[in-house]
Amino acid sequence: MTFRHGRSATFAAMLAAALVPAAGQAADMVLRPWPAAQPTPALKLAGLDGQPWDLAQLRGKVVVVNFWASWCGPCVAELPVLGALAGRPAWRGKVAVVGVNYKESLDTIKDFTGARSIPYPILRDRSGDMFKAWTAGVMPTTILVDRQGRARWRSAGEIDAGDTGLQRSIDALLAE
């Protein structure tokens, strides 16, 4: 039990350091702990190809789940940042990025994604039920899920291109 507590304390210290910007840096996105009383919801949706998709398939990886829509300016602005995270060589096979589109038609999503290079899977939340279960009603919302499949951190609002806090938080989850 002492080992576990020590490990938790070490992780908390690493994460606190990751979330506090160094002097002179732009403020990073604010990651808030996933609500302790709220279990991690299932995330089972279909991809753009109609094939079923389940978050549980990614156990063993840190997963970045991003809720977005094509009509949401901040959502569109952060797509390149998420794409860069998905393609980061040091994280290959360890980190997955997944986009969850909020209630748009398949044609709209395909037209939008076809005009852009998005190197990660896009899922369809046709009913908006996943958005309700996973977010506080703000778009975009990004959630970090640990390798055991537990939601750990959530951020509402755009991820800025200069943000390093998300990257450090992912590294901290990988170090657990």
pLDDT at site 87: 94
| Domain presence at residue 117 | yes
* Calpha distance 66→155 (Å, rounded): 10
| Domain presence at residue 47 | yes
Upper half-sphere CA count for residue 8 (Cβ side, 13 Å) = 5
Beta bridge partners of 99: 66, 122
The percentage of the chain sitting over the pLDDT mark of 90, rounded to a whole number, equals 78
Domain residues for the domain of 136 are 30-161
CATH number for the domain including 113? 3.40.30.10
pLDDT at site 10: 40
pLDDT at site 161: 87
| Domain presence at residue 120 | yes
pLDDT tens figures, 75-88: 999 999 999 999 99
| Domain presence at residue 176 | no
pLDDT tens figures, 21-65: 433 344 567 899 999 999 999 999 999 999 999 999 999 999 999
pTM equals: 0.84
Helices (H), 62-164: 73-86, 106-114, 129-134
Take residue 103 and report the two structure tokens written for it.
Answer: 């209630």
pLDDT higher at 19 or 68: 68
| Domain presence at residue 61 | yes
| Domain presence at residue 2 | no
pLDDT at site 27: 53
